[in-house]
């Protein structure tokens, strides 16, 4: 963040820029892990990062368990949505179009409903 901050052009909010830098850093890490199979992929680390606190209600634990089963991009969109980011912010962070964000979020919700009903 510190190294890239002088290049921040203030075309978007600071939080959107931070998310974008973080996402790009994570994607770079995933690409490197694909080249080096001996390293642990980011997806496994993300699942561990979503470990439930003891105080969390059962419904929330189930929801996060289902979210962990989604693909990486769907998981990213859903988690950003749960953090109360707007569709525009999610689009800026992920590099998707607004329509694509809405579509991915709708499909992820459908998948989650199907997982609950299965």
For residues 14 and 109, which has the higher predicted lDDT (pLDDT)? 109
Give the pLDDT of residue 39. Answer: 43
What's 39's DSSP letter? S
- The residue-averaged pLDDT of 4-22 equals 80
The domains of the chain, with CATH numbers, are 11-117 (1.10.10.10)
Note the pLDDT tens digit of each residue in 27-41. 887 777 666 544 444
Note the pLDDT tens digit of each residue in 40-96. 444 555 555 555 455 456 777 888 888 999 999 999 999 999 888 999 999 998 899
Give the pLDDT of residue 47. Answer: 53
21 in Cβ contact with 1 (< 8 Å): yes
Mean pLDDT of the chain: 79
Burial of 72: CB neighbours in 10 Å, binned 0-12, 13-18, 19+: middle
């Amino acid at each position: 963040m510190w190294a890239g901050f002088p290049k921040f052009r203030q075309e978007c909010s600071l939080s959107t820029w931070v998310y974008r830098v973080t996402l790009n850093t994570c994607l770079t890490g995933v690409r490197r892990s694909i080249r080096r199979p001996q390293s642990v992929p980011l997806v496994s680390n993300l699942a561990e990062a979503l470990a439930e606190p003891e105080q969390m209600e059962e419904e929330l634990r189930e929801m996060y368990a289902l979210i962990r089963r989604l693909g990486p991009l769907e998981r990213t969109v859903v988690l950003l949505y749960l953090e109360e980011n707007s569709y525009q912010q999610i689009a800026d962070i992920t590099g998707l179009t607004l329509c694509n964000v809405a579509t991915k979020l709708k499909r992820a919700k459908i998948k989650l409903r199907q997982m609950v009903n299965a």
